[in-house]
Structure 1
């Protein structure tokens, strides 16, 4: 009799523990994304005989991790454990940035990939904003970065080009996939604008 009472108590305890502490609760799988810009217009054919080296990519410590960041209130930010970048966002952005310079025709070679080239321009990037703005009923994908271009490897010299670009793209809903689609559109827009500016500025 005592055996059955003990068995009954253990069964009840196990049931309550499972219900109260969610032992059997299933969690969503982690998903990984990449920012990918659309094909930009070629401004020169053949491309200008320039080479570039992306010397530095700075990114705000608020957004340098792989987890997506959402702004929920004016002073409240939240990271998303289950949705993030496949590679660090600074690397992802640098790759899309570099590809756009080649596609546009502003540069002929990427010295980050071809190490034996003589570099004509050195570039520094500062990615200061990269988050989902979820404060209102119209969520937005936000990106902001500064690009600085030098003709001399000595960064003390004055840059030949310096400008900050920012985009706030309204997205369909407050979720990771919609946010990435918005970022893709934002990056495409700013890179097209930047390449047009560079085509007028660089010799």
Structure 2
């Protein structure tokens, strides 16, 4: 009987302590986002009879995780446990990149999706920067990537196209939603620029 009374006293004391001192703490729910680009402007009346295969997507180990990364100081980076990508960022980037090539008309087929087509071009991507730059009062969405296009599947010959694109997009707030909007805007702009330049280099 004494043990039961002690247990009841302990429970009552714990509840009183919790209510008085606010020990109970709620945490925000995790949110997941996707990078989505706007419609790419067609460059040709009908797509060129080319096919492509995105052979490799390299991404810096600093940004390969699903959690968003914020740069708070010159040497200080933080990851956001509660906000991140719905799918790995390398996969998200590859999907948007591939869709832009088809929408532009530079290519007719994506060999990653249609395995029976004959491949004319092989592409390698290097996503080196993907973070929110929160060091100043004007936060920015930063994205940098390199595109390398080959006609030779063994990559023995020199690439027919190679360029690095980097975009700093000013965003309204230092939060996850504004960061994604900035990434979408910056990526849409650079992919449109890339497709225009690519159209002048491909045979």
Partner residue of 1:136?
136
User: For the residues of structure 2 that align with 1:165 and 1:126, how far apart are their CA atoms?
Assistant: 10
User: For the residues of structure 2 that align with 1:118 and 1:130, how far apart are their CA atoms?
Assistant: 33
Q: Which SS does the other structure have where 1:84 is aligned?
A: strand
Runs of 4 or more off by more than 2 Å in structure 1?
Answer: 2-22
Q: How does 1:59-98 map to 2 (within 5 A)?
A: 59-98=59-98
Partner residue of 2:58?
58
CA deviation string 1:118-145 (max 9, x = no partner) = 1000000000000000000000000000
TM-score by length of 2: 0.93
User: For the residues of structure 1 that align with 2:183 and 2:49, how far apart are their CA atoms?
Assistant: 31
Q: How many residues align?
A: 201
Q: How does 1:52-201 map to 2 (within 5 A)?
A: 52-201=52-201
* CA RMSD, 1 decimal: 1.9
User: For the residues of structure 2 that align with 1:18 and 1:162, how far apart are their CA atoms?
Assistant: 63
CA deviation string 1:30-49 (max 9, x = no partner) = 00000000001000111111
Change (3 A) 1:51 1:19: farther
User: For the residues of structure 2 that align with 1:153 and 1:99, how far apart are their CA atoms?
Assistant: 21
Q: Which SS does the other structure have where 1:149 is aligned?
A: strand
Partner residue of 2:12?
11
CA deviation string 1:49-83 (max 9, x = no partner) = 10000000000000000000000000000000000
CA deviation string 1:151-170 (max 9, x = no partner) = 01012321010000010000
User: For the residues of structure 2 that align with 1:6 and 1:160, how far apart are their CA atoms?
Assistant: 77
Q: How does 1:25-44 map to 2 (within 5 A)?
A: 25-44=25-44
TM-score by length of 1: 0.93
Q: Which consecutive residues of structure 1, in runs of 5 or more, have no partner in the other structure?
A: none
Offset of residue 109 of structure 1: 0.4
User: For the residues of structure 2 that align with 1:34 and 1:159, how far apart are their CA atoms?
Assistant: 30
Q: Which consecutive residues of structure 2, in runs of 5 or more, have no partner in the other structure?
A: none
Change (3 A) 1:6 1:59: closer
Offset of residue 7 of structure 1: 5.1
Offset of residue 99 of structure 1: 0.2
Q: Which SS does the other structure have where 1:166 is aligned?
A: strand
Change (3 A) 1:19 1:168: farther
